[in-house]
Structure 1
Amino acid sequence: MSDPDHSAPVTPAEGSPVRRSLLADIAPLKESPAFARLWGGTAIAGIGSQITIVAIGLLIYDITGSTLAVSFVALFALGPMVVVGLYGGMLADVFDRRKVALVGALGAWLSTAGICVLAWLHSETVWPLYLLTMVNTVAATVLQSANAATTPRLVRKELLPAASALNGISTGIQITVGPAVAGVLVAAVGFGPTFSIDVVTFTCTFLAVLWLPPIRPHGDAERPGLRSLLEGAHFLRRAVNIRTSFVADIIAMTFGQPRVLFPAVGAVLLGGGAITVGVLTAAYAVGGLLSSVFSGSLGHVRAQGRAVARAITVYGFAILAFGIVLLVQALRGRGNAGSAWAHVHLPALLLAAAALLIAGGADNVSAIFRGTILQASAPDAMRGRIQSVFVVVVTAGPRVGDLYIGLMSTIAALWAGPVLGGALIVVLIFALIRRQRSFLAYDALHPVP
C-alpha cells in the first residue's frame, strides 16, 4: 500500500471549493479510505472502552462506597501514563507509527480482558482493578498518540479541522452510547457481561490499525531516550501557541471534570443510581456530538487560538452551573435521594444534564481547534513526541481533575468542586490569554507553533 503524504501546505486554490454548510465536512472520509477505516474502527471500539470507563467507577464505588476511592483510579494511572506516553511518542517519531499503534492496542486489549475476568469472578479486591486500569490507560495513550500523529499523513492539511470534527463525532458517539449502555447493563446484568462488550468491540481497533499503510516518519529524529525527550522539550518551549493550548486544556480539565461525582450524585443527591450516572455522562457526550455534527463553519475560523479561549470560558460557566444545581439540591435536603429510578428528582437531573451538554459542546470545540493547531504547525519529525504530550495532557488532565473533585467532595461537599472549579476556569483562562497575546493572534492560514 502507498504511504500518502498530505503534510505539505495546500492553498485554497488547490483544494476543494469553500463549504458554508453547518453540517460536518465529510471530505476526509471520502478522500482517504485509510482515515475512514481508522475513524470507523475507533468509533466502534470506543463504545466498549467508554462502557468500561463508566463500569470501573461503578464497580469500585460498589465495592468501597467511596467517591475518593473512585478518584484513585486516576492517581495510580497518572505517573506511568505520563512516562510511557512520552516514550510512545518518541517511538512514533522513529518507527512505523502503524506498528507502534498495534503494540498499544494489544496492551489495551489484554488489560481490558483482565478486568473482565475479575468482574466475572466477583473479586472484591480493589488493587488489581487499579493496576489493570493503569495498564489500560498507558497502552491507550500510546495507541492514541500514534494514531493522532498519523492523521496529518492521511488527510490534506486544509481538511485537518474537518478531520478533528469527525473525530469529535466519533468521540461523541462513544461517550453518548457507551455510558448510557453501561448504566443500564450494570443495573440489568451485572459487571461481568458489561466488561465483556469492551473485549469484543476492541477487535475493531486492531483491524483498523492493521489495515493502515506503513506510516514512517519524515526527517531524522533522535532514537528514543533522553536526547530525543530533550529535543521535544526544546521545541515545545519555543512553540508558544502549542504550549498555551496545552495549558488551557489542563486548566479546564483539572478544575472542571466532575465525572467521579456521578455515582454519589445518583445515589444520594439526585437519585436514580446507575441510570442517572449514564444520563449525566451521556449528556456531556451529546453536547460534544452535536457540536461536531454542526461543525461545518468551524473549518473557516482563522483565529483558532481565540476560539479555544472562548470555548473554554463557556465550559467553565457550564461546570459552575452544574455545581449550582447540586448546591440547590443539597440545600433542599435531598441528601438521601435513593438509588432507585423512582426516587430521581427529574427537574434537577434535567438541569444538571443541560449544563453538562453545554460543557461537552464547548470542550469539543476547544479540542477541535487545539488538535488542529498542533497537527498543522508541528513538523512531522516532531509530531509523535508533541502529539504524545497532547494525549498525556488530555488524558492526565481529567485524572487530576478526578482527584481534585474527589478530595473536594470528601473535605467539603459534592457541589463544592464544580462550583469552585468552574469559577477558577473562567478566571485562569482570562489571565492566560492576557499573558499569551500571540495565542489570540494565531492565524490558521499561517500556522506558527
Structure 2
Amino acid sequence: MTVEAGTKRRRLGSVVIDIEPLRIPAFRRLWVGTAITAVGSQFTTVAVPKQVFDLTGSSGYVGLTGAVAMVPLLVFGLWGGAIADTVDRRKLLLVGNTGIAVVSALLWIQAWLDIGSVWLVLGLLALNQAFFAINLPTRSAIVARLVEPRLLPAATALSGTMSMFGTVFGPMAAGALMPAFGLPVLYLIDTIALILAMYTVWRLPPLPPLSGQVRRAGLRDVLDGFRYMGTQKVLLASFVLDIIAMVAGMPRALFPEMAERTFGDPHGGGLALGWLFAAIPIGSVVCGLFSGWLGRVRRQGVAVVVAICAWGLSVAGFGLAGSLWLAVVFLALGGAADMVSAIYRQAILQAAATDEMRGRMQGAFTVVVAGGPRIADLTHGWTAAGVGTAAAATGGGLLVIVLIVVATALLPAFWRYRAAAVK
C-alpha cells in the first residue's frame, strides 16, 4: 500500500462508521438479531396506528396509542432495567423476545379475522410495549459485556445505525405491501422476524451479574437506580433535554392523517405513509454511516443542545411543507440531528454508569427515548384534532427550541460538559 493510499484510508476511516466490533462473534450475533428485529418491528409500528386510524378515522385515537403504550413503558422499563442487573441478561432477552413474538402473532390473528375492535388493538399494544420495555434495556446493557471499553462508541453507533436502517426499510416496505397484501401481513412478518432473531440470542454466552449473585429484583433496586441517577447531574440533564425534544417535537401521530389528507394516499394506505415513517430514520442512517468524526468532538453537551435545536427547526419546516418530498427532506434532516444527539447522550450514559447499574440506567433511557414519543403521540394527535396537523407540527418544532434554550440556561453544567480526552 502506498503512503498516499494509506493516508486516504485513514481519512476515510475517520469519517465512516467503525465496524471493528463486528469481528467479535458474540457482538456480531447480537447485532444480527438487532438487524432482524429492527426491520420486523417497524411493520407493527406502521400497522398499529394505521389500523387504529382505519377503525376510527381520527388522529385523536391514533394519539391515544401513545398514552396506552406509555404506562407499560414506564413501569416495565424501570423494572426491566432493574431485573437486567440481577439475572442472566441472555435469559431475560429470550423471555422478552418470546413475549413480543406471541403478542405480534395475536395482533396478526385479530387483523386477519377482521374483529374490528380498536380496544383489542390498544390492549395488545400495551402488552407488546411491556415486553419491549424489558427487552430494550437488557439488549443495550449487554453490549458493554461483549466489547472492550474502547469499542463502545463504535458498537453503539453500529447498533443505532442498524436500528435506524430498520426504521427506514420497514415503513417503506410496509407502505408497498399494504395495498397489495393487506394490513394483517405486516403483523405476520414481524412475528416471523422475532422468531428468527431468537436463534441469535440463544447463541449468546451466559451473561449473569458480575457479582455472581442472581436474585429477584424489587422496588428497592428501582429506587437505588433513581438515587444513583441523582448523583449524575449531567446524565440527568441529558434525559430532560431529550424529553423536551421528543414530547414537544415528535410528529409521527400526524403521519396517517397527513399521508391520506395532505399527500394523497388512498384510504387503504400507500407509499406516502411509508415515506413519512421512513424519513426520520433515513436521516439517522446517513448520519450514522458517516459518524466517524463524532468521536473527535469533546464538547458533547454543546453538541446535544445544538442537535436538538436543529431537530426542532426541521420539525417546524416539516409542518410548513406543501409537498411530500419537501416534508421528507425536513424529516430526514431532523433524523440526522436526532442521531447526533442520541450518539452523544448514549456516550454520556456509558461513561457515567457502572455495570451493576447499567441495566437500570438503560431502563431509564428506554423510558425517556421510547416513552417521550408516546406522550408526543397523545399531545400531537389531540392538538391536530383541534387546530390541524400543520399547526400541530410547526408549533411543536418551535416549542422545542424555546424550551431547550430555557433548559440550557437553567442547566449550565450540561452546556459546559466535555468528554474525557482520548489517550
Structure 2 equivalent of residue 426 of structure 1: 401
Q: 2:294 matched to 1:298?
A: yes
Higher share of residues assigned helix = 2
Q: 2:312 matched to 1:316?
A: yes
Find 1:259's aligned residue among 249, 252, 267. Answer: 252
Amino acid at match of 2:35: A
Amino acid at match of 1:236: M
| Deviation digits for residues 389-414 of structure 1 (CA, Å, limit 9, x no counterpart) | 10111111000010111011011111
- Superposed counterparts of 1:10-409, under 5 Å: 21-30=14-23, 32-219=24-211, 223-273=216-266, 274-325=270-321, 329=322, 348-409=323-384
| Deviation digits for residues 230-278 of structure 1 (CA, Å, limit 9, x no counterpart) | 2111111111111111111111110111111111111111213431110
Aligned partners of 2:301 and 2:414 also within 8 Å: yes
Distance, in Å, in 2 between the alignment partners of 1:446 and 1:145 is: 28
Distance, in Å, in 2 between the alignment partners of 1:223 and 1:303 is: 40
Distance, in Å, in 2 between the alignment partners of 1:193 and 1:381 is: 41
Aligned partners of 2:87 and 2:215 also within 8 Å: no
Distance, in Å, in 2 between the alignment partners of 1:443 and 1:212 is: 35
Distance, in Å, in 2 between the alignment partners of 1:18 and 1:102 is: 40
Distance, in Å, in 2 between the alignment partners of 1:304 and 1:126 is: 43
For structure 2, list consecutive stretches of 5 or more residues without a partner in the other structure. Answer: 1-9
Distance, in Å, in 2 between the alignment partners of 1:75 and 1:46 is: 23
Cα separation, partners in 2 of 1:63 and 1:445, compared to 1, 3 Å: same
Task: Give the C-alpha shift of residue 205 in structure 1.
Answer: 2.5
Distance, in Å, in 2 between the alignment partners of 1:390 and 1:221 is: 23
Distance, in Å, in 2 between the alignment partners of 1:148 and 1:352 is: 32
* Aligned residues between the structures: 409
Task: Give the C-alpha shift of residue 357 in structure 1.
Answer: 0.4
Moved more, 438-447 or 225-234: 438-447
Aligned partners of 2:171 and 2:278 also within 8 Å: yes
For structure 1, list consecutive stretches of 5 or more residues without a partner in the other structure. Answer: 1-16, 330-347
Amino acid at match of 1:122: D
Q: Is the partner of 1:415 in helix, strand or coil?
A: helix
Q: Is the partner of 2:114 in helix, strand or coil?
A: coil
Structure 1 equivalent of residue 3 of structure 2: none
Amino acid at match of 1:280: L
Cα separation, partners in 2 of 1:19 and 1:224, compared to 1, 3 Å: farther
Percent sequence identity is 40
Aligned partners of 1:42 and 1:208 also within 8 Å: no
Aligned partners of 1:261 and 1:406 also within 8 Å: yes
Task: Give the C-alpha shift of residue 446 in structure 1.
Answer: 6.7
Cα separation, partners in 2 of 1:191 and 1:294, compared to 1, 3 Å: same
Distance, in Å, in 2 between the alignment partners of 1:183 and 1:137 is: 23
Scaled by the length of structure 1, the TM-score of the pair is 0.88
Structure 2 equivalent of residue 6 of structure 1: none
RMSD: 1.8
Amino acid at match of 1:77: A
Distance, in Å, in 1 between the alignment partners of 2:193 and 2:216 is: 34
Task: Give the C-alpha shift of residue 223 in structure 1.
Answer: 4.9
| Deviation digits for residues 176-227 of structure 1 (CA, Å, limit 9, x no counterpart) | 1100111111111101222211111112321222111112223479852222
Cα separation, partners in 2 of 1:34 and 1:187, compared to 1, 3 Å: same
Q: Is the partner of 1:123 in helix, strand or coil?
A: coil
Moved more, 159-168 or 138-147: 159-168
Amino acid at match of 1:34: A
Aligned partners of 2:87 and 2:216 also within 8 Å: no
Q: 2:407 matched to 1:443?
A: no
Q: Is the partner of 1:431 in helix, strand or coil?
A: helix
Structure 2 equivalent of residue 5 of structure 1: none
Aligned partners of 1:23 and 1:293 also within 8 Å: yes
Scaled by the length of structure 2, the TM-score of the pair is 0.93
Distance, in Å, in 2 between the alignment partners of 1:212 and 1:410 is: 47
